[in-house]
Chain A
């Protein structure tokens, strides 16, 4: 969806971005009342291909467990929309897009993006699609941040909100991890002060290191141990070198290499920054409850026991604020040892909670 020079995206950085475009996928059919639209918000390195094969990687959609025919977000019943975030690199305007003022990629001249910017861009898309009110907004991790922001920015346009494994503000620890990742990218000489696209280089090593570090934070110690333990990779004994002796090393190297083939390094800087800046309470006089005051939206918050990146305490803080704001809120902490990644994996309890919440909300909304 393209927005011309007369339809700028007003960004928190104080810049009117124009022209701009947002890439999205839809599944299912919008009903006559336009009451069955569900927006899926993707996480840091996700994209709009939530339930179809990814055209870049050829891999299946990233949330087929949650979205599809007969899934909790049932594409037979709902009109499902998923859009690439602003600042992303899968078709929505981002740092790799051409700056019309220079004819060159924006690179680091792209305005710093925030979660509210992402949501504003999605709202413009929803407007264009002729949808006044979303039935449900669903997302995990950074996607969950967007869900919360939707409820805060457009309370009357969100009937139900399902934020999963997320927080109303990014913690100091998480900012710290992101900073390590960004420094890895920027320390790569091929980054060329952000102008790598002009210079025909790619900061692949730096971005791969960033991904390796981040990937550890998505798992739990238990999950790592179960999957890899101290097992050697294709060898019986250590080589007394810095080869990837251990399976876990080999796995992380693979994760890093696979990532750089599908993700733009500058987008990684911008989208991690957006998460760092996220703090709903700070925008509302320091009180998260104020942000949700009088909200008509019904919420269901889900966390995972072994998620140390977005721990249950973060979710509980959201729930307490919603309670204090007298909002309709449900909360489930799913028992899982898979860490933050659990929200993307086969977690029957999460599906049961999501299905119960969505189906009950659909009954109230009168969706067949």
Chain B
């Protein structure tokens, strides 16, 4: 399997990734969900077991697809950049893009497809505006490598990084309404919602957005 594009934190008690638990909380029980870039199916099985969702997935790696099959998850080997166009409008209640948008060739097109295929979209991504990233680039003059983003610039699958503010701007451009926005700190915990955007953008490790077509 491809290495995960990022290396996220897990809940010590349940063993589930903290960002997955946050995403699961955004999904209405019993809904239809498409997870784009579903990896080994960890989020999909969490959604199935905890929220009773009817989940589907797209995954580019064969190993990932086989791991999903073994979990009984209907997952299609495919590429978010090319295969989303084949899905009909409003086919799902939610389309999830978890830690994947930065690895797509055309993030804007992908986001537009998410909003077309799903009544809602949930997008999570590593925040390239985080202060440590800024320090690496601004002070050290090096492409950032952090615990969550462990790749060298030349072998990273992450080709379209953005900051939380960048993503908010993209949402505005494609006409997506933000129903919920959460920034997770380096400990994987949600930051207080009362904090201003610039604090999220500086101290948020990841952004998680619940979006709706306007």
Distance (whole angstroms) from the CB of A66 to the closest CB of chain B: 15
Contact with B along A161-200 (1 / 0, CB 8 A): 0000000000000000000000000000000000000000
> Which residue of A is nearest B55, CB measured?
A328
Encode contact with A along B83-101: 1 for CB under 8 Å, 0 otherwise: 0001110010000000000
Enumerate B7-63 residues with CB–CB distance to A below 8 Å.
32, 56, 62
Instruction: Please determine whether A330 and B62 come into contact, CB atoms closer than 8 angstroms.
Output: no
Neighbouring B residues of A364 by C-beta, 8 Å: 72
Residues of A within 8 A of B91 (CB): 323-324, 326
Q: Does chain B have a CB within 8 A of A335?
A: yes
Distance to closest chain B CB from A152 (angstroms):
18
Pick the residue among B65, B71, B73, B74 that contacts A353 (CB under 8 A): B65
Nearest Cβ in chain B — how far from A316, in angstroms?
8
B71 touches A360 (CB 8 A): yes
Q: Which residues of B contact A333 (CB under 8 A)?
A: 62, 77
User: In this assembly, does A154 line the interface, its C-beta being within 8 Å of a C-beta of chain B?
Assistant: no
Complex-state Cα separation, A332 to B70, whole angstroms: 13
Q: Does A298 contact B (CB under 8 A)?
A: yes
- Contacts of A248-306 to chain B: CB distance below 8 A: 298-300
* A353 pairs with B76, CB closer than 8 A: no
Cα A353 to Cα B77 with chains together (Å): 11
Q: Contact partner of A320 among B32, B65, B73, B86, CB < 8 A?
A: B86
Q: Is A314 an interface residue (CB 8 A)?
A: no
The B-contacting residues of A in range 343-368, CB under 8 angstroms, are 349, 352-353, 355-357, 359-361, 363-364
Q: CB < 8 Å: which of B70, B78, B87 contacts A356?
A: B70
Q: How far is the CA of A361 from the CA of B70 in the complex (A)?
A: 9
Scoring B62, B66, B69, B87 by chain A CB atoms within 10 A of each residue's CB, the highest score goes to B69
> In the complex, what distance in Å separates the CA atom of A334 from the CA atom of B65?
11
Q: Is A331 an interface residue (CB 8 A)?
A: yes
Interface assignment of A329: CB less than 8 Å from any CB of chain B: yes
A300 to B91, CA, bound (A): 20
Least Cβ–Cβ distance between B85 and chain A, in angstroms: 10
A333 to B77, CA, bound (A): 7
Q: In terms of DSSP, what is the predominant structure of the interface of chain B?
A: mixed
Q: How far is the CB of A319 from chain B (nearest CB, A)?
A: 6
A356 touches B62 (CB 8 A): no
The answer to whether the Cβ of B210 comes within 8 Å of any Cβ in the partner chain is: no
Verify if B68 is at the interface (C-beta below 8 Å from A).
yes
Answer yes or no: B133 CB below 8 A from chain A CBs. Answer: no
When the two chains form their complex, are residues A323 and B87 in contact, meaning their CB atoms are under 8 A apart? yes
A319/B88 contact (C-beta < 8 A), A356-B70, A360-B71 known: no
Return the contact of A328 from the options B62, B66, B74 (Cβ within 8 A).
Answer: B74
Closest to A299 in B: B74
Residues of B within 8 A of A330 (CB): 65, 68-69, 73-76
Residue of B32, B76, B88 with most chain A CB atoms under a 10 A cut-off: B76
Partner of B76, one of A298, A331, A352: A331
Give the contacts of A216-262 with B (CB-CB under 8 A): none
- Given A329-B74, A331-B76, do A323 and B69 touch, yes or no (CB 8 Å)? no
Chain B, residue nearest A329 (CB): B74
* Complex contact A300–B87 (CB within 8 A): no
- With A352-B66, A353-B69 as known contacts, state yes or no: A331 contacts B86, CB within 8 Å: no
List chain A residues, Cβ under 8 A from B68. Answer: 330, 356
Residue of A nearest to B88 (CB): A324
Determine how close the nearest CB of chain A comes to the CB of B208; give it in whole angstroms: 26
- A332 lies within 8 A of B69 (CB): yes
Contact A332 B87 (CB under 8 A): no
CB < 8 Å: which of A324, A331, A359 contacts B77?
A331
Instruction: Check B66 against A332 for contact (C-beta < 8 Å).
Output: yes
Query: Do residues A329 and B69 form an inter-chain contact, with CB atoms below 8 A?
Result: no
Chain B nearest CB: distance from A293 CB in Å? Answer: 12
B88 touches A356 (CB 8 A): no
Q: Is the CB of A360 within 8 A of B62?
A: no
Least Cβ–Cβ distance between A358 and chain B, in angstroms: 9
Of B62, B76, B88, the contact of A335 (CB 8 Å cutoff): B62
Contact B72 A332 (CB under 8 A): no
Contacts of A353 in B (CB 8 A): 65-66, 69
Known: A326-B91, A331-B77, A334-B62. A359 touches B70 (CB 8 A): yes
In Å, the complex CA distance between A352 and B32 comes to 27
- Chain A positions near chain B (C-beta within 8 angstroms): 298-300, 319-320, 323-324, 326, 328-335, 349, 352-353, 355-357, 359-361, 363-364
Sample (12) of A-B pairs whose CB atoms are under 8 Å apart: A324-B88, A324-B91, A326-B91, A330-B65, A330-B69, A330-B75, A352-B66, A353-B65, A353-B69, A355-B70, A356-B66, A360-B70
Supplied contacts A332-B62, A353-B69, 12 more A-B pairs, CB within 8 Å: A299-B74, A319-B76, A324-B91, A328-B74, A329-B74, A330-B65, A330-B74, A330-B76, A353-B66, A356-B69, A357-B69, A364-B72
